Amino acid sequence: MNSVSPSAVQYIVGGDAHEDKPSAQSRRQNGHGSVPDGLREGSGEPDEVDRLKAKFMSAWNNVKYGWTVKSKTTFNKTSPLILLGQSYLFNSEDEVDRFRQVFVSCLWLTYRREFPQLEGSSLTTDCGWGCMLRSGQMLLAQGLLRHLMPPDWKWADCHLLTDVDFEVLKPHSPSRPAGMSLPSFSSSWTSPISQRDPSSGSSEGHRRTPPRCPAASHEPQLEALHRKVVSWFGDHPSAPFGVHQLVELGKESGKRAGDWYGPSVVAHMLRNAVARTAEFHNLAVYVAQDCTVYKGDVIRLCESPLTQELSDSWKSVIILVPVRLGGESLNPSYIECVKNILRLKCCIGIIGGKPKHSLFFIGFQDEQLLYLDPHYCQPVVDVTQGNFSLESFHCNSPRKMNFSRMDPSCTIGFYAQTKSDFESLCSAVSEALSSSKEKYPIFTFVEGSGPNYGLEGQSGGSMDAPANIFSCNRMSRNNKRGSTDEFVLL
């Protein structure tokens, strides 16, 4: 399947091959299809039938997630859009460009194919099963950009937005279900890109280069650091946050290549990945227990004895909070609370999605969430090469979905650079949480330490624990699903 230039990518509108969630006995079957048992670790050398099955499934998924469906996203010119804690009102070209630079600068991590074989399997692609891993990568990547880059950093080569309209939207009416369309902004700001027919036989090397418009000036040191951050998420066994390393970490919780992952498990995997990377001696990841952030545990984690003798004894921290926002579907009472959280500058995004479809949420407008979608299969990029292409790691086609479609199981991410930032984070998030009409908040901040806190785990609990996400909203008594159920992916 020939690839399509990321600048011309339209997000996939795909169905699920399995409408019902797999039972505990059939967890070997992921949301996109099954991986033959013979390909799994510990099952021995895969036989020829299993190899053929794996090749067929890989080929099918590459076709399924390599095709694109052309569609446009409409943004309201009269309502503010929130992106990573910043507000944008699309009433001028300057404001559209300000949004463009921030959105396109986010790292976009998607399915890849033809990467080195995953250990213990014959898989050379995560297409069809790795979308939650990719969403988790994007959350961590946003935290690393916040940690390493200046606050006003933008990718100097960010592309133009594609397939977007800016209109004055009116309330729904029987005569007009959408809105009153006004002329879009100049094509110098939104430019549709000609897209080759995937069946025409064009090769990767002949893709049309997307247009760019002036952005921040090139600063060699920052661009080198940007490229280094991208390389940490490369699809190579040596990349500290690549799929190979995450799958290896997933074995500690009983997960294997080809399995689907929940947002709680991925949070613990990200924590362990950062803890095992020597470059991040000044950064820690804390994962909340039972929907509770224990301040004492965060302080103990960040005020490491190894750094207390230094003038700056505080590690920066990424806080990950696995939560459940309802039973079988999203509780509407929590929508305003989620909006308030996304308005905070300390929030770095939410990994979750819609049922059976993992997404990375980074903002909202009106009653719709703004997201990055990993469900697009691209060829692997060799990040070990000094001048590898960055184009496929950035998206310029923003997409939205209604809050009502959001799956209730998710993990919320925050970042605090200093101790003062952490204290401000606790106050700001607590205030945002108080907006919920529900008796019980999504999660809480408390003094002291959690019951399972340990220095080895760094934030309490083992990675294979489901984090008891049902207890935080007191919904287990009414919920028919078991407490160990995880997020279902497409």
Q: Which residues are catalytically annotated?
A: 131, 373, 375
- Greatest CA span in the chain, whole angstroms? 70
Q: Cα(127)–Cα(146) distance, rounded to whole angstroms?
A: 28
H or E element that contains 232: helix 220-232
Yes or no: say if 229 and 109 are a contact pair by the CB < 8 Å rule: no
Q: Nearest CA to 32 among 357, 373, 359?
A: 357
Quickly count: other Cβ atoms within 10 Å of residue 395's Cβ.
Answer: 24
Q: Cα(41)–Cα(120) distance, rounded to whole angstroms?
A: 4
Which residues are bridge partners to 363 per DSSP? 83, 370
DSSP state of 156: T
Please, what sign has the CA dihedral across residues 333, 334, 335, 337? positive
The position carrying tokens 């990993």 is 374
Q: Nearest CA to 321 among 356, 259, 270?
A: 270
Kindly write down the DSSP assignment for every residue of 281-320, as one continuous string. Answer: TTEEEEE-BTTEEEHHHHHHHHS-TTTTTSS----EEEEE
Q: Cα(237)–Cα(117) distance, rounded to whole angstroms?
A: 9
DSSP state of 254: T
